[in-house]
Amino acid sequence: MAGVVLSLENKVALITGGSRGVGAAAVRLFHEAGARVAFSYRAASERAEALAAACGGPGTCTAFAQELRTPEDGRTLVRRTAERFGRIDILVANHGVWEAQDQPIATMPESQWRRTLAINLDSVFGLIQAAAGQMQQQAPAAPGTAAGNIVLVSSTAGQRGEAFHADYAASKGAIISMTKGLATELAPWGIRVNCVAPGWVATDMSAPALNDPRTREKVFGGIPLGRVADPWEIAGPILFLCMPLAGFMTGEIVNVNGGAVLIG
């Protein structure tokens, strides 16, 4: 009896923020599932190039140095991916910024607010706009398959807010609303739009907070499973949402937070 096959053969995936953390785990998983993968990075060139080489090199996996702060940055990255691989079947908008230092709203610099929304939201608009347009123009990679999949990465902060991080919470809440609106808008084109909302994950971005004993104790105390996630545990649900097994899911917010959102 044949087992369950999880394959993205003949698919092209674009994953942002792919040089480390959840993004790097997703790059590896999508490659192992048979997809050709393009991913973006901002500054970690050695790490990014090593990952691309480990996943097959230029014909199979390509790393693009790309700032993501504006809609045009997002559109540029989509264009570069389509030029390299000829199509885009999957967009995973994973990149983002979160300031580890608590910042009360009364004193939050406007520059921090604008930077967070620029990276976490404005560039995502450009990515989705260009990727959806590309998916609408091209034929599905295989007969009977979806024309495209878009997975946006939000956060528990986008669902319940986060004190002293209003900028981050606002950007991730907007990602959830975009998911719901775009799911119905793009469904007639055969494009599914879903969202993964992680809680705390052991990544470089969260390391400063998790390495602080007081913060770490507070974080762990708010997670029923009693630990933070490994990046693979977020990348796995992202991969699943792009599989035929999830073919009737669109507009969904998939919680991956160890139960934290239930008690927060």
Report the alpha-carbon distance of residue 24 to residue 22 in Å, rounded. 6
Nearest alpha carbon to residue 119 among 166, 70, 160:
70
Residues in contact with 66: Cβ distance below 8 Å, sequence separation at least 6, in sequence order: 40, 41, 42, 73, 76, 77, 80
State how far the alpha carbon of 83 is from the alpha carbons of 7, 19, 118, 124, 148, in Å. 24, 21, 25, 20, 17
Show Cβ contacts of residue 56 under 8 Å, excluding neighbours closer than 6 positions: 31
The three-point CA angle 70-251-100 to 5° equals 50
Rounded Cα distance, 109 and 220, in Å: 29
Q: Where are the alpha helices (DSSP H) in 9-56?
A: 21-32, 45-54
Instruction: Give the containing element (helix H, strand E) for 191.
Output: strand 191-198
Q: What angle do CA 248, 249, 251 make, to 5 degrees?
A: 140
Which residues are known catalytic residues? Answer: 168
Q: What is the DSSP letter of 145?
A: S
Q: How far apart are CA 155 and CA 139, in angstroms?
A: 32
Sign, CA torsion 128/133/134/140: positive
